[in-house]
Amino acid sequence: MTIRLRWPVLAVATTLLVASCGGGTEAPPAATAGTATTSCASKGPLTMWERSGGNKEMVDLLVAAWNTKNPDCAIKLTYIPHTEMVGKIAQGIASGQVPDLMGMDLIYAPQFEKAQQLVDITPRIQDWTELKTASKGHMTVATYQDKVYGVPLYADVSALFYNKDLFARAGLDPDKPPTSLAELRTYADKITALGGGVHGYYLPGNCAGCNIFTVGPLMWASGAKIEAAGPGDEPLVGEGVKQVLEFTREMVKSGNVAPGARTENGETFHLQFGSGKVGMMGTGNFNITLARQQNAKMKFGISLLPGVTPGSSASFIGGDLVVVPKGSKRVNDSVNFMKFLMSDEVQVEVYAKALNLTTRSDMADNKYFRAEPLVRDVAKALTVGRTPYTFTFFEQINSPQGPWLKMLQRAYYSEDSLDTVIADAKTAMKKIAV
């Protein structure tokens, strides 16, 4: 069949293209192609894809900042529906019609790196001091077999947000957030007892990504492991899995979660805490500004997501990477954009000013954060944070139809034996990781 013949041709063609294309200054990736700067390497607009459903405000700000500084090579950004992103990227690469650079949900990076579909930028960035303090979670998934393929675009980290006003009303100390799951439960009960549409906790019932972001760390903090990294790897290992599922099941049964949460599919997840009707909830740093916008007078605090043992904690480091797809005609400019993102000025004046996490930990001490203790608190989560590393993240975990969400839904809303629920999920995840 013709496709079989075309594939090698396509592969050779794209290699030649990468090697010989561009505005004269493009060189084969193996060579150190000159020092990167934060301005244009060649003229002409840059095409960039980014997934929808992420931190759109942050990405828009970053692109706008670059476009203001470099109008000659301004970025034209296209948002792709995030559930279609993996398919779209694959199609783009297979057909050679790729954007110049891409924002990619970081947990998909290993899959594309393994398939050798991203440009290896190791030689270009190896002497960048900025990367020494870049988010570990991002850089781990950006690396495959000791080669680096991207840098952080933005970082999200999950933490436990708690409503100090509701704490005070329930007779809890507003400066003492819970440090274990058991405490979380006790506090939640007290807050729910206040009545008036107020609930102590929140569990999104129909959103796989929200749950890995905020319930996954509860399992990690309890010593468990979740994803199957690759073929033959065992997923869902550790007593923590069952303990956390029990915890969540009891939370729902005891009425600590609003019934409407059952249909939450992620579209309004980031607006729940700001409503002021939730006592405590796992959510991300992006919720600081959002909650303030929704509810300026609400007093709230941030602490780490706890596990079974008092004092244990974990967090999910998420966000996006900037990567360069194979076949991109503007590798130099893409790398320049990366340098721009990691530069001191952008870290402070764009990321920190918007009260988003800086992707470099050494830039966390800046004037904006000093005026905003909550951001400092949430940044602490980075130290206990981790990012899953697997080649089939979407299908195993993030997919609305995948085993992760199914397991959680059975735990939250059914009476099925948790052992069966976990065993079923394990089987499904192992099959996918093949």
Which residues in this chain contact another protein in the complex, by CB under 8 A? 1-4, 7-8, 47, 49, 52-53, 76-81, 83-84, 86-88, 90-97, 99, 112, 115, 117, 205-206, 259-260, 262-263, 265, 267-268, 270-271, 274-275, 294, 394-395, 399-401, 405-406, 409-410, 413
| Nearest distance, CB of residue 329 and another protein, angstroms | 15
Q: Which CB, 88 or 353, lies closer to another protein?
A: 88
Instruction: Name residues whose C-beta falls within 8 Å of residue 72's C-beta, 6 or more positions apart in sequence.
Output: 40, 43, 44
DSSP 8-state code for residue 326 = T
Q: Which CB, 156 or 395, lies closer to another protein?
A: 395
| Nearest distance, CB of residue 270 and another protein, angstroms | 8
Q: Which CB, 259 or 310, lies closer to another protein?
A: 259
Q: Which CB, 329 or 339, lies closer to another protein?
A: 329
- Residue 84's Cβ-side half-sphere holds a number of Cα atoms within 13 Å equal to 8
CB atoms within 10 A of CB 6: 12
Cα-Cα-Cα-Cα dihedral sign, residues 34, 39, 42, 45: positive
Checking phi first, is residue 232 left (phi over 0); if not, alpha (psi -120 to 50) or beta? left
Checking phi first, is residue 116 left (phi over 0); if not, alpha (psi -120 to 50) or beta? left
Q: Which CB, 260 or 311, lies closer to another protein?
A: 260
What is 270-282 written as a DSSP string? GGSGGGT-BSEEE
- Assess contact for 231 and 434: CB atoms under 8 A: yes
| Nearest distance, CB of residue 99 and another protein, angstroms | 7
d(CA 240, CA 222): 5
| Nearest distance, CB of residue 328 and another protein, angstroms | 13
CB atoms within 10 A of CB 97: 10
Q: Which CB, 173 or 267, lies closer to another protein?
A: 267
H or E element, residue 293: helix 287-294
| Nearest distance, CB of residue 129 and another protein, angstroms | 33
Q: Which CB, 19 or 115, lies closer to another protein?
A: 115
Q: At what angle do helices 56-69 and 331-342 cross, to 10 degrees?
A: 110
Q: Which CB, 30 or 434, lies closer to another protein?
A: 434
Q: Which CB, 296 or 371, lies closer to another protein?
A: 296
- Assess contact for 151 and 341: CB atoms under 8 A: yes
| Nearest distance, CB of residue 1 and another protein, angstroms | 4
| Nearest distance, CB of residue 111 and another protein, angstroms | 8
Amino acid identity at 426: K
Q: Which CB, 11 or 168, lies closer to another protein?
A: 11
d(CA 117, CA 191): 50
Counted residue by residue, the chain has a size of: 434
| Nearest distance, CB of residue 213 and another protein, angstroms | 17
Q: Which CB, 172 or 261, lies closer to another protein?
A: 261
Cα-Cα-Cα-Cα dihedral sign, residues 11, 16, 17, 19: positive
DSSP 8-state code for residue 365 = S
Strands (E), 291-390: 300-303, 305-306, 313-323, 385-386
| Nearest distance, CB of residue 87 and another protein, angstroms | 3
d(CA 146, CA 149): 10
| Nearest distance, CB of residue 259 and another protein, angstroms | 7
d(CA 177, CA 61): 33
CA dihedral 160, 166, 168, 171 (to 10 degrees): -100
Q: Which of 350, 342, 433 is nearest to 128 (CA)?
A: 342
